[in-house]
Structure 1
């Protein structure tokens, strides 16, 4: 699945209309939440037909995934030459992605909807996760981390801190706290368990 506009034969997609659809859907999502949102409401607010939206997005879930995807950046692959610097750059991009307005933060909850998450995973989270895994793999090759480091636990610890503290509690995380957390994780990294390996494939 993808949150990118659907390419169909015929006239080219109107990019200005696409931007207005995403902006309007984002505003309505932030005000009313996912369950109350409908494609019909968005089309009326934008002043276009529902078919114009369905030409771009297969359903409401794909539309909302596109809204959320438009608010974040995958970011460049960090390459500072050491694990601490690379992880810091990676997590600061994650932090920037979650510096949202109150309305956007409210709309962010829609990412967990079953109709939204798979599309958002394919178009965004999977790419971010692959970056994180590559950062750790390079660190293993340089001898900075052990071969049995648990990639997911390490990455999820940092990502979870940002999600909970910044997006839920709405408390800005000072970069120095990230440095402290990263230093602790690199100094004593989580290891894979021989009898219960729960590491997900990237």
Structure 2
């Protein structure tokens, strides 16, 4: 199995045309995880752990009772006599929505894992395989976000992801349009247009890429204000 490109994971992009690593990073955003294959991802998506992570926070906070509890305990708690007694004492409705606690007594919040970890289990947690894997996902997500941000006064608007092209529409062609602007007066922009494969950049493709850009060298017409 071909490994994922290290540059993609660390920088969010790869400029090496001869790179033979994979460039399709299979991720589960709710669980903060990267998967080596589509089979592994598909198996994860139907797992109990994924469904639990997609259902919301694992720990809830009740502002009426000033208590934290696991998600399965929320409904029994708000139906309980103690909760209703506290609401009556404060002259407010017992019907309250769960909140996400900022702090959980005796625990430390782990951002990569999006979980509160008991103090006594912290060292073992950060040394664990799952924590390291989620830390790698966090670094990749941050690098990808950084790579997609506008830089040096240049803004790019539009979407160039062609996704899966149906054969019936491929014969007539599929088009995408983007707008490139710059706030830097008299700037020269070099536009490179190429077709990239998610598997290998130099992989054969039956499709051709045609650009309507008049010139690969664009000059900013912005002038200085007096």
Instruction: Verify same fold: TM over 0.5.
Output: no
Q: Identify the structure with bigger relative contact order (alpha carbons < 8 Å, sequence gap 6+).
A: 1
Q: TM-score, normalised by structure 1?
A: 0.25
Structure with the higher helix share, 1 or 2: 1
Structure with the higher strand share, 1 or 2: 2
Structure having the higher Rg = 2
